Chains A and B, each alone.
Chain A
Amino acid sequence: GAVVSQHPSRVICKSGTSVKIECRSLDFQATTMFWYRQFPKKSLMLMATSNEGSKATYEQGVEKDKFLINHASLTLSTLTVTSAHPEDSSFYICSARGGGPGAYNEQFFGPGTRLTVL
């Protein structure tokens, strides 16, 4: 149980286009979802926290107009990178908590999405 999927796993786009990444909790209801960004050979940096039905809370330094997050249902959150530029190229990982087995605070991570902006 407690499986989180992401789609797509890889995306290559041209500079200036927008890209949407989906994060789904497959077998549990996720009250909270998190979006992380991982630079090559670096740690995960939390970008934002989203609760179903409410606006996302962004971490300091993350542009909310650049990275649009929607958490419309208890099983789906989307991250849209608007007007993507090469510096947005990164590995984006989502996680979800709520309803799954394990520790009370446990987050279950998706497999990640590799975004490459040309």
Chain B
Amino acid sequence: GEDVEQSLFLSVREGDSSVINCTYTDSSSTYLYWYKQEPGAGLQLLTYIFSNMDMKQDQRLTVLLNKKDKHLSLRIADTQTGDSAIYFCAESTSGTYKYIFGTGTRLKVLA
């Protein structure tokens, strides 16, 4: 079945850039998403990218998609302590509406 993998932890210093990586196996993925989850809370959509795009930038967030390698990354510029959270990538295929979530990356920002 489909599988989405992420590294479990990332620690960066405040002001540095963070890069969170994600790999997926489903070649028919149509949409890829990045969600943020703060402790005890639900998921907040940060950004998404269509599979026919290579890059998407939204303020401090940059998403890069390498469809050939099935690799997705999220870059957070000028990382702040408020960015500390768990970040999930997810993929879905048009018509199924099901999301497959990655394992989540816990980002810790050091002051």
Q: Which residues of A contact B (CB under 8 A)?
A: 6, 32, 34, 41-46, 49, 93, 95, 97, 102-112, 114
Contact of A105 among B31, B40, B41, B106 (CB under 8 A): B31
Q: State whether B88 touches A43 (Cβ < 8 A).
A: yes
Q: Which residues of B contact A111 (CB under 8 A)?
A: 41-42
- Over the window 57-79 of chain B, the binary record of Cβ atoms lying under 8 Å from chain A Cβ atoms (1 yes, 0 no) is 00000000000000000000000
For chain B, the bracket of interface size reads 20 to 34
Within the assembled complex, what's the spacing in Å between the Cα atoms of A103 and B45? Answer: 11
Q: Which residues of B contact A (CB under 8 A)?
A: 30-31, 33, 35, 40-45, 48, 50, 88, 92, 94, 97-104, 106
Q: Which residues of B contact A42 (CB under 8 A)?
A: 103-104
26 intermolecular pairs with C-beta atoms under 8 Å apart: A6-B42, A32-B97, A41-B104, A41-B106, A42-B103, A43-B102, A43-B103, A44-B43, A44-B88, A46-B98, A46-B99, A46-B100, A49-B97, A93-B42, A95-B99, A102-B48, A104-B31, A105-B31, A105-B92, A105-B94, A106-B31, A107-B99, A108-B45, A109-B43, A109-B44, A112-B42
Please provide the 10 A-B residue pairs with the shortest distance between their CB atoms, ordered closest to farther.
Answer: A111-B42, A109-B43, A44-B101, A109-B42, A112-B42, A43-B101, A43-B103, A105-B92, A105-B31, A103-B48
Q: Which residues of A contact B102 (CB under 8 A)?
A: 43
The binding surface of chain B is classed by DSSP as strand
A105–chain B nearest beta-carbon distance, Å: 5
Q: State whether B45 touches A49 (Cβ < 8 A).
A: no
Within the assembled complex, what's the spacing in Å between the Cα atoms of A105 and B87? Answer: 19
Q: State whether B41 touches A112 (Cβ < 8 A).
A: yes
Within the assembled complex, what's the spacing in Å between the Cα atoms of A112 and B106? Answer: 19
Within the assembled complex, what's the spacing in Å between the Cα atoms of A43 and B91? Answer: 13
